[in-house]
Structure 1
Amino acid sequence: MTNNKIHFTGRGFDFDITDDPIIYSILNLTPDSFYDGGVNSSIDQVLDRIETEQQYGAKVFELGGKSSKPHFDDISPAEEWGRVKPYLDAIQKKFPNIVLAIDSNTNEVIEEALKSGIQIINDIDGFNSAAKLNLVKKYHPSVVTMFNGRNFDEQPDTLEETMTNFFNKTIADLESVGLDKENIVIDPGVGFSDANTLQFDLTKMRYTKKMQQFAAPIMIAISQKSFAKRLFNADSEHRLIPTLLFEAYMAQIGGRIIRVHNVKETQELIQTYKIFQDILN
């Protein structure tokens, strides 16, 4: 908990996340995502899902046109954007006030998304290029900047230092092109390591507490990740309970934006979390 107010803000939204987490729903529009590839196979299905998830309290909806699972097959910017645009057009028509994000590390797709009115860019590479920073400067979106372990030589003994250096740099870079900290969400990148070991994932989860030093909104993005397989030999259909328990732990130590596939269950988690906070107080 913190005595200072924490807001996540952007064009058309201002979420006070000082005490209570918010739900950030994942809408993968890909055939090959690790958990829900091919699930959102029709526009009407996605529109119905958004309507339902809004009733369960989801505040942000993130579109993704390319899988970023380990060893993913890259695709062209045209194919990636071609997957997203028909859904985006339909969503914006039916839900004109919706807060939308896109999960992309592709310059051309990021720019098309910004030109189309998407408010949040989630870059798994942490805006690590001048081209991306120039797009941020031009369009002034809100962002999610993630520590991608695949881009670093991760070592157990120096991982926290590496992450601290990364977040200091990425926040400074984003502030230098016009963003405020309340526009910048930071994500420790659980599950994004070439080694992909349980040790790295648990270190990143624990590091959530230290991330409060950056005074920026913190994302919890562990939904259905493979740490549950390494802990319990759980396949993707049986990872919900460990996911929820670890999300509750990360919320307790500072995470406030919960990026999830399972919105209804996450709403129940947040309600339980609030009761737990009342008991502690």
Structure 2
Amino acid sequence: MYLKKWNFNQSSEPTTQILANLVNKQGWLPLLWSEMGNRKKQVRLLLSQFDLAIVELAGGAFGFVLPISAWPTFTQRVRKQFADDQQILADLANLEVTIAVYWQAGRFRFNLTKHPLIYGILNITPDSFYDGGRFNSHSAMVKQIEKMVAAGADIIEPGGQTTKPGHFVEVTPEEEWQRIAPAIELIQDRYPQVAIAVDTYKLPVMERALAAGVDIINDVNGFETAEKRQLLAKYSKVGLVTMHSSRGHEYENLTNGMKKFFKANLAELIAAGIDRERICLDQGIGYAKVADGYQDFAMMNNLAELNEFHRPIMVAISRKGFGQKLFGLPKEKRLGVTLIAETAMFLAGGRVLRVHDVEETQQLVKLIETIKSSYWTLPGHYEEKN
């Protein structure tokens, strides 16, 4: 038996092109299962458990499109049922490498297809839009880091300069560094299992953070200068979060404009010597020309359009102003609407969730992943995941 990707998107048939476009956006996996011999009925029964439309092609092969969320359960059941077929087991292993989205982030190489990331925000500022002033004291900062680690944060990001909508006060690179340096040192000393990101758009702060051994640099300006790109190229494993922003302009076609930005931005970063696997994309929700306006909702809705880049996509909407716009909610009461919007974007392919509320986001991820990977079979028929 053989299991491989179904390359129907090479066809010039108009309906096939439409299907290929949909598959690419949704991150679905088109597959062909062939050479089944006398086990064809067994294969069909297994596939039917995943609620798939199965097409029998010339030569007797089965063609089907599998949601990526079904992949863990699918591979588990195939390995269980066809444990004696070395070709199928090898095909599964090859496919797993093909579909995986990796993010090289300093000391870590994350497989986003297997494990979404919870990226905890730690603002050490007096004026950040949600938690400004809360963690400025050393004791408060220590307690918050402990809380995020205990809740399961994969990454913690100290930030020493707000870039909130409207007016914000820019601080010197020295002051910004003095704010975040103690948090970096504390995480490195006590929690080596947690990746450290730094949220900064200033070159001198990037230089000091990289020299200190951080794993990720998050730049709201998208590493727009050659100096920044050259600096990051020197640190061959450090991860980058590159953000799109339209604070200075509007779009006639938002999705096309964002795609053009990321295509050009990725090309510039790669040309500077930065490996594509190091780069995570951030749509920049909250950074539209009109703050907390309609464009933010459009970007929440079009996230799947960025799946074609085959890079991790960040969901960075935690407690932002859309909760005020729609429901009149103060920032302290926006957790519920944040989780709802994050769920929609997570289902569309956003696998890096940048959040203030780590525990609740872990619950979101576990519940949605459990639901989306659950396909019924008789109890005991397969060894199911816990």
Instruction: Verify: 1:100 aligned to 2:196, yes or no.
Output: yes
Give the TM-score normalised by structure 1: 0.94
Q: CA RMSD in A?
A: 1.6
CA contact (8 A) 2:200 2:219 kept: yes
Identify which range, 38-47 or 75-84, moves more after superposition.
38-47
Q: How does 1:82-93 map to 2 (within 5 A)?
A: 82-93=178-189
Question: One-letter code of the match for 2:298?
Answer: T
How far has the Cα of 1:219 moved from its partner?
0.3
Contact 1:219 1:255 in 2 (8 A): yes
Change (3 A) 1:227 1:263: same
What amino acid maps onto 2:132 in structure 1? G
SS at 2:169 equivalent: coil
The equivalences for 1:185-196 within 5 A come to 185-196=280-291
User: In the aligned structure 2, how far is the partner of 1:73 from the partner of 1:163?
Assistant: 28
Number of matched pairs: 279
Partner in structure 2 of residue 131 of structure 1:
227
TM-score by length of 2: 0.69
Runs of 4+ with >6 A deviation: none
| Paired letter, 1:158 | N
Question: For residue 144 of structure 1, what is the aligned residue in structure 2?
Answer: 241
1: CA distance between counterparts of 2:28 and 2:267?
22
Taking the aligned partners of 1:164 and 1:119, their CA distance within structure 2 comes to 26
Partners in 2 of 1:197 and 1:50 — Cα distance?
29
Using the TM superposition, give the Cα deviation of residue 279 of structure 1 relative to its aligned residue in structure 2, in angstroms.
4.1
Quick one: which of 266, 269, 272 aligns to 1:177?
272
Structure 1 residue 227 displacement after superposition = 0.9
Per the TM alignment, residue 67 of structure 1 is displaced from its structure 2 partner at its CA by: 0.6
Q: Secondary structure at the match of 2:213?
A: coil
The 8 Å contact of residues 43 and 90 in structure 1, kept in 2 or not, is answered as no
Cα distance in 1 for residues equivalent to 2:114 and 2:294: 29
Equivalent in the alignment of 2:348? 253
How big is the shift at 1:50? 2.4
Q: Distance in 2 between matches of 1:96 and 1:280?
A: 37
1:37 aligns with 2:140: no
C-alpha separation in 1, matches of 2:175 and 2:292: 32
Q: CA deviation at 1:160?
A: 1.5
Cα displacement string for residues 36-55 of structure 1 (whole angstroms, at most 9, x for unaligned residues)? 00111233332333233223
Deviation of the 1:87 alpha carbon: 2.5
Stretches of structure 1 lacking an aligned partner (at least 5 in a row): none
Please give the residue correspondences for 1:1-281 in structure 2 after superposition, counting only pairs within 5 Å. 1-3=27-29, 4-70=99-165, 71-140=167-236, 141-150=238-247, 152-155=248-251, 157-279=252-374
Question: What secondary structure, in the 3-state scheme, does the structure 2 residue paired with 1:201 have?
Answer: helix
Q: Which moved more, 1:254-263 or 1:2-11?
A: 2-11
Q: What displacement does 1:10 show? A: 2.3
C-alpha distance in 1 between matches for 2:243 and 2:302: 13
Letter in 2 for 1:241: G
SS in 1 for 2:162: coil
Q: In the TM superposition, what is the alpha-carbon distance from 1:197 to its structure 2 partner?
A: 4.3
Q: Deviations over 1:147-176 (max 9, x none)?
A: 1122x4113x32222111110011111112
**Is this contact kept in 2: 1:220–1:250, CA < 8 A?**
yes
> Displacement, 1:78?
1.2
Q: Answer yes or no: is the 8 Å Cα contact 1:182–1:217 preserved in 2.
A: no
Q: Deviations over 1:126-159 (max 9, x none)?
A: 0111111111112232100011122x4113x322
Separation in 1 of the partners of 2:115 and 2:321?
26
